[in-house]
Amino acid sequence: MKRLLSLFIAASLFVGCSDSGTSSPQHQTLASAATSSAAYQSLAINEDANAWWHNAIIYEIWPRSFYDADGDGSGDFNGMTSKLDYLKDLGVNGIWLTPVFEAPSYHGYDFQDFYKVESDYGTMEEFENFIVEAHKRDIKVILDLVLNHISDKHDWFIKSANKEAGYEDYFIWRDERPASGWGQPWSSESNPAAVWHWNETRNAYYYGAFGSSQPDLNLTKQVVVDELNKLATFWLEKGVDGFRLDAVRYAVEEGGYPLQADTQGTIDYWALFTRHVKSIKPDAMLVAEAWADLNTIGKYRDNGKGLDSAFDFDFGTMVIDILNPAVKQSADFGTLGNNKLQQNRENLWANLQARKAAAPMNYFAPFLTNHDQNRIMLSLNNDMNKARIAASLLMTTPGTLYMYYGEEIGMSQYKTGDDQYRRAIMQWADEPSAGFNSTANFWLDQGKWFPWVQNHEGWFAHYWQGLQGKGLSVAAQSADENSLLNHYKRLIAVRNANPTLKQPDEIRYYPVENQDVWLVEVLGKTGSVWVLINLNSTAAAEVELPKPLQGARTEKLSGQAMHLGERITLKPAEALIF
């Protein structure tokens, strides 16, 4: 993607690769107009995207932290069901649940039983009721599915370690640990001990990219593939609408680094899995977690035979780079794709071009942060104006969008150093329990969830006590017309009412003289939408307006009628949509 910087010339039209679709005659005309104009640069998209997720805003929930209906300190299915009306009012139309299968850990990514829901969250009947109630509100639900690895406490692993007939090769075993060439697959550092783990029962080493408690499944064995297809069928028949697929890059290893990631065997496996899922539920959505550059991520579409969608990790990284260039960012389980790009608005245009170059634009799913990253508010130094800018940029970019729970109210985190701080309790109300339950019990303050921490000290209750009364709860922000929550609601309402924002046929970028202003026009079958955002959180920005924008307009976020002249001044962090 670094090569894309050379494409920044005035009035250039970017044409995508063969997997991106081709421009219609209409857009060839638009291209000619763009090339002859010095006012803007143009990106023709013109894609046919009719699946439900192409128009979706999907809200990621960490179930243990969202809402606790029974007061035991952990969120649950009944709690999430009780908050569906909140999500409907927010305007989202999809939910991504991080793991809800029975697992020994608090996070659940080490599945112990594929066919049971996490008992801490409730019963299967309560889960099924959650799905039914979500669907009543036209909200889709996708589940986090980890097929790369499972818990070392799973029956399959125990049977394989004992060489029980039929299970010997469910995992990847070796008599000797490789001397070199192997390591964590997202790093070039040779460290075989990090991924090859000794098992006393079998007297052999097994491969586990994510640690000894999470052995990798052998996805080259048909019996394993068949079992995983069976479990996907089970949950699709429960009514779920698709899966977020964890760690897709690491499914099939073909040797030491770099053959531990993004192999042809991996891409082929996901194509086969996709085919099976579509045979059960044709409109099920599969989204890939592939923490890499966009060109690598694009491979998992596999020319339409592979996965439906993939997260655009670069987008959130770029937004943070623009708003707080000093913050150090990292990819815990992958690689950052844009670490040498300029830290200014040109990043946003480069990102759009890179998406179109790597795959159809509608394949990529932009987001700000998720459960594996520091919350964006922390990265923005808890600056509410910067959070407003980030929200405006996210809600006006094309693609399937994802939000992390609490981003809409500016949830931050206690500190860094452990993932638990990124996954804290949802702040519903300014009361000792944070409105999370009726008991003020919090799983984060219960040492049983952190066996690797000696003398664990609870921290959330004290942390939240210091935040109460500062307008950082849903209740407080609902009552404040100018809050971040209400800004999100207005942005989402405008996006939902304007299909052009979700799936434009063309995007025109105006590199106006004021570098603090992001100004684009998106054009589609229902007309055009103009977006102006002041990227400066502290200073107003005056800008000369393109002639086509001037005249009588209605600003969509406020509903205010305006007459636009040659120039306009944007307030700090202000967004205007016409």
- How far CA 329 is from CA of 279, 323, 351, 526, 532, in Å, comes to 40, 13, 17, 39, 27
- Residue ranges and CATH numbers for the domains of the chain are 53-147+222-452+459-494 (3.20.20.80), 149-218 (3.90.400.10), 504-577 (2.60.40.1180)
Q: For position 14, what pLDDT does the model report?
A: 34
Greater pLDDT, 5 or 411 = 411
Q: Fill in the amino acid letter for 215.
A: P
Quote the CA–CA distance of 140 and 242 in Å, as a whole number.
9
Element (H, E) at 379: helix 376-379
Flag whether pLDDT at 68 surpasses 80.
yes
What lies within 8 Å, CB to CB, of 433 at 6+ separation is 439, 440
What lies within 8 Å, CB to CB, of 377 at 6+ separation is 387, 407, 410, 411, 412, 413
Q: For position 152, what pLDDT does the model report?
A: 96
* 289 is a catalytic site residue: yes
Share of the chain above pLDDT 70, in %: 91
* Average pLDDT across the chain, whole number: 92
Average pLDDT over residues 336-354: 79
Q: For position 330, what pLDDT does the model report?
A: 59
Q: Which of 152, 289, 516, 521 is catalytic?
A: 289
Global pTM? Answer: 0.91
CA atoms in the 13 A half-sphere facing the CB of 380: 29
- How far CA 119 is from CA of 113, 134, 537, in Å, comes to 11, 21, 45
- Would residue 491 be called left, alpha or beta, if left means φ above 0 and alpha means ψ between -120 and 50 degrees? alpha
- 335 confidence band (pLDDT: 50, 70, 90): low
| 43: β partners | 14, 507
pLDDT digits (tens, 9 = 90+) for 19-56: 433 333 333 333 333 332 459 999 999 998 899 999 99
* 431 is a catalytic site residue: no
Q: For position 49, what pLDDT does the model report?
A: 87
Q: Which of 246, 407, 445, 505 is catalytic?
A: 246
Average pLDDT over residues 345-349: 95
pLDDT digits (tens, 9 = 90+) for 367-388: 999 999 999 999 999 999 999 9
State phi, psi for 109 to the nearest 5 degrees: -80, 0
- Is residue 432 reached through a cis peptide bond, with omega within 30 degrees of 0 on the bond before it? no
Give the residue from 370, 436, 296, 375 showing the smallest Cα distance to 144. 370
Flag whether pLDDT at 129 surpasses 60.
yes
